[in-house]
Amino acid sequence: MDPEVLSSNDFAAGGFSPHGEFRCHMDRGVLMWTSHGPFNVEALQAYGRQRQAAVDRWKLESKQMASVMEWVDSALMSPDAFLLYRRGFDAFMRSRHDYVAVAWVGGPDVEGLDLMCLQFAPLFEEHALPFRVFDRASAALAWVRPLLFATPATAALQPAPDARPRSGCGHG
């Protein structure tokens, strides 16, 4: 295992085995995620522990933070897992005042990505968190990196290179 990559499988605890995997690493200040779905509750429980381990490992607690989540194959999850993901993200956002942007990456072949966008765009908006969906990780990184150092006034002016318009996904 790469010591610079955290896998949600390493944070599984008892019960049923996780279905789906989240992997993360840092890329010059951006927390990069790769998610292979579909997901069950156990995968989302492990993801919550993994996210906290990432914050601790890379000392993100007191830093501005942006993330890029690349969805592979499927973003679908059981209803209980979806609720856990939403609640976990909401709690994480309420505990952070310096999360500056989220970008998702996935093509039209990623099962359930449109549904996830429709469900999460209002949550991101509730927390005033800039959010865009891209077809390529390079375009997502080009969008989030400047937001790490932007002031609130300039953040809204950042272009979204190669953003793929999707209904309800909060991008231009």
Amino acid identity at 137: A
Residue 47: count of CB within 10 angstroms of its CB: 25
Q: Where are the beta strands (DSSP E) in the chain?
A: 6-7, 21-27, 30-36, 65-72, 99-105, 131-134
Q: Where are the domains of the chain?
A: 6-155
Residues 6+ apart with CB under 8 A from 172: 132, 160, 163, 165
Given this model, what pLDDT does residue 36 score? 96
The three-point CA angle 164-168-172 to 5° equals: 40
Residue 167 pLDDT greater than 50, yes or no? no
Query: Span 6-155: which CATH code?
Result: 3.30.750
The CA-based dihedral angle spanning residues 83, 36, 95, 54, taken in that order and rounded to the nearest 10 degrees: 150
Residue 71 carries which DSSP code?
Answer: E
Digit-coded pLDDT (tens) for 108-121: 999 999 998 998 88
Cβ–Cβ under 8 Å, residues 76 and 148:
no
Q: pTM for this structure? A: 0.83
Cβ–Cβ under 8 Å, residues 79 and 115:
no
Digit-coded pLDDT (tens) for 61-93: 878 889 999 999 999 998 899 899 889 888 888
